[in-house]
């Protein structure tokens, strides 16, 4: 769910280093053995600096098959699933300090945003392919027969995922958000995409909508687009041509959308027909990128991806309000909410001119009754934030590496950092999967909150002992 540095549709076609043209077969799989530092019985040595209350405990480097950018993460049981512009990797995290690669699915399509639902994996395709199969080569966006949208996999056997079907959506799928149906028999996937053009037959302007895919759980092969709700009938902000990302909070029947020039709230009590209930704009924001609710739903943290994720925004050339988070409290009535600005937050650790750094994907640390957040900042590393006072958020912990290259800017760093069942998992675009242990008494109560499944953009309500 998460994001791509820069334009999702054109800029990074050449950045998919290993994704040029695969054989025209359906699915290429590599099942690998243990890939952690513990595999050779040597002690893990971190190449990062951390605050005293964080410990870097493991890193799993990318394989040659995934020699493209890592992207987002989703979690199911003892497994983490990592998206990549070339496909996805399944990690066994039953021993978090010694994660192992279980399988890799080579299935390029650009960004590779992931959500998991039981035995199903939903996978975003945002670069046109010649057809729906995993081996199909990339084609120009001007090709009317090109496929973009969602692929669906069966991951009941984590060592041998199987491709089920694909669903085409207008402008492809930059990110996807899972909203489980209230009947327990249906999943709804909100597909966010943007950057239309008169020259793109499958991505026509104004594209002020999202696509809703309905997936019957007993027959996922019959998944289809069930609706295309227009979120901005008046056009929204002049820069808004679709949404970048949506975070749903199904137990509260609400969602927050980050839609380029607009931040929105939605009523999703009928998940098939989301309704916008509030729209907010901020002249300081360059690109509304993602959103997270507090557990009580009283605050929303939006992020601004100034510079598209490939620029050095954490230098003295940019102030503390640029490329930052914006915290908004939710006021008004449930059927007529109002977003009220509270503050900005940006990491206080200045980075170099050769490090892309800007606010990116994160999640709550589930401390009951408290508001803590862990967040990726690309080469700014990982930040742990106390925002119990929305007007005065503070960094209380951090993880940070040296630049990939000290002489020139090479994009990389933490794309997403999420707390899951006792540890933080960070998807580094170039350096692989990092695992971080939190050694802070303020955060220890989160260890009593566990999940069988976690999609950060389908936000669960947490309760102690869950």
pLDDT digits (tens, 9 = 90+) for 151-167: 999 999 999 999 999 99
pLDDT exceeds cutoff 60 at 437: yes
pLDDT at residue 466, as a whole number: 58
Look at phi and psi of residue 93 and say left if phi exceeds 0, alpha if psi is from -120 to 50, else beta.
Answer: alpha
pLDDT digits (tens, 9 = 90+) for 104-153: 999 999 999 999 999 999 999 999 999 999 989 999 999 999 999 999 99
What Å distances lie between residue 74 and 175, 183, 200, 259, CA to CA? 13, 23, 31, 22
Structural domain spans, the chain:
13-48+66-349
Query: Is residue 61 a contact partner of residue 431, using CB atoms and an 8 Å limit?
Result: yes
273 pLDDT exceeds 80? yes
* Total Cβ atoms within 10 A of residue 465: 7
pLDDT band at 463 (very low <50, low <70, confident <90, very high): confident
Tokens 């009938």 map to which residue? 233
Specify the pLDDT at position 226: 98
- Which of 5-9, 62-66, 364-368, 425-429 is least confident? 5-9
User: What is the pLDDT at residue 9?
Assistant: 33
Average pLDDT, the chain: 91
Spell out the residues 6+ positions from residue 414 whose beta carbon is closer than 8 angstroms to its own.
Answer: 360, 376, 377, 378, 379, 380, 381, 382, 399, 426, 427, 428, 429, 434
Residue 34 has pLDDT above 70, yes or no: no
User: How confident is the model at residue 458, as a pLDDT?
Assistant: 98
Phi and psi at residue 312, in whole multiples of 5°?
-85, 85
The whole-model pTM stands at 0.92
pLDDT at res. 107? 97
Distance CA 138, CA 26 (A): 14
Model pLDDT for residues 47-103, shown as the tens digit of each residue: 999 999 999 999 999 999 999 999 999 999 999 999 999 999 999 999 999 999 999
For residue 331, pLDDT over 90 is answered with: yes
CA distance 362 to 378: 11
334 to 37, 259, 272, 331, 339: CA distances (angstroms)? 49, 21, 19, 9, 12
Q: How confident is the model at residue 43 (pLDDT cuts 50, 70, 90)?
A: confident
Per-residue pLDDT band at 7 (split at 50, 70, 90): very low
The DSSP secondary-structure symbol of 110 reads S
Which pLDDT score is estimated for 464?
Answer: 65
Q: What is the pLDDT of residues 186-211, one digit of tens each?
A: 999 999 999 999 999 999 999 999 99
Task: End-to-end CA distance of the chain: give it in Å, rounded.
Answer: 25
- CATH code for the domain defined by 13-48+66-349: 2.130.10
Q: In the predicted model, is pLDDT for residue 20 greater than 70?
A: no
């Amino acid at each position: 769910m998460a994001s791509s540095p820069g334009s999702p549709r054109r800029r990074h076609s050449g950045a998919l280093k290993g994704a040029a043209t695969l054989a025209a077969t359906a699915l290429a799989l590599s099942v690998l053995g243990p890939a952690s530092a513990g595999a050779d019985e040597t002690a893990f040595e971190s190449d990062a600096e951390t605050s005293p209350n964080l410990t870097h405990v493991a890193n799993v480097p990318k394989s040659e098959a995934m020699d493209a950018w890592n992207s987002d993460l989703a979690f199911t049981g003892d497994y983490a699933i990592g998206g990549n512009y070339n496909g996805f990797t399944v990690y066994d995290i039953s021993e978090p300090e010694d994660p192992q690669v279980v399988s890799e699915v080579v299935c390029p399509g650009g960004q590779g945003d992931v959500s998991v639902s039981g035995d199903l994996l939903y996978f975003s395709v945002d670069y046109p392919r010649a057809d729906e199969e995993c081996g199909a080569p990339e084609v120009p966006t001007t090709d009317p027969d090109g496929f973009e949208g969602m692929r669906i996999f069966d991951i009941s056997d984590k060592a041998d995922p199987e491709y089920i079907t694909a669903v085409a959506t207008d402008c492809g799928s930059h990110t996807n958000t899972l909203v489980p149906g209230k009947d327990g028999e249906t999943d709804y996937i909100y597909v966010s995409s943007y950057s239309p053009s008169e020259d793109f037959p499958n991505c026509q302007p104004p594209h002020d909508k999202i696509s809703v895919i309905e997936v019957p759980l007993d027959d996922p092969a019959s998944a289809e687009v069930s609706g295309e709700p227009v979120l901005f009938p008046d056009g929204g902000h002049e820069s808004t041509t679709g949404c970048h990302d949506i975070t749903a909070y199904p137990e509260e029947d609400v969602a927050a959308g980050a839609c380029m020039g607009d931040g929105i709230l939605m009523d999703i009590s009928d998940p098939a027909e989301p309704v916008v209930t509030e729209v907010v704009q901020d002249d300081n924001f360059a690109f509304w990128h993602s959103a997270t609710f507090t557990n009580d739903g009283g605050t929303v943290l939006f992020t601004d991806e100034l510079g598209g994720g490939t620029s050095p925004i954490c230098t003295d050339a940019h102030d503390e309000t640029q490329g930052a988070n914006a915290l908004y409290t939710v006021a008004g009535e449930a059927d007529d909410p109002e977003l009220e600005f509270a503050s900005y937050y940006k990491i206080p650790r200045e980075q170099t001119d050769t490090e892309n750094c800007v606010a990116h994907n994160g999640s709550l640390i589930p401390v009951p009754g408290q508001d803590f957040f862990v967040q990726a900042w690309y080469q700014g590393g990982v930040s742990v934030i106390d925002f119990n006072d929305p007007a005065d958020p503070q960094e209380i912990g951090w993880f940070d590496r040296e630049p990939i290259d000290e002489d020139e800017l090479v994009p990389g760093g933490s794309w997403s950092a999420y707390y899951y069942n006792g540890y933080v998992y960070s998807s580094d675009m170039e350096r692989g999967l990092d695992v971080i242990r939190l050694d802070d008494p303020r955060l220890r109560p989160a260890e009593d909150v566990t999940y069988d499944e976690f999609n950060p953009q389908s936000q669960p309500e947490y309760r102690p002992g869950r």
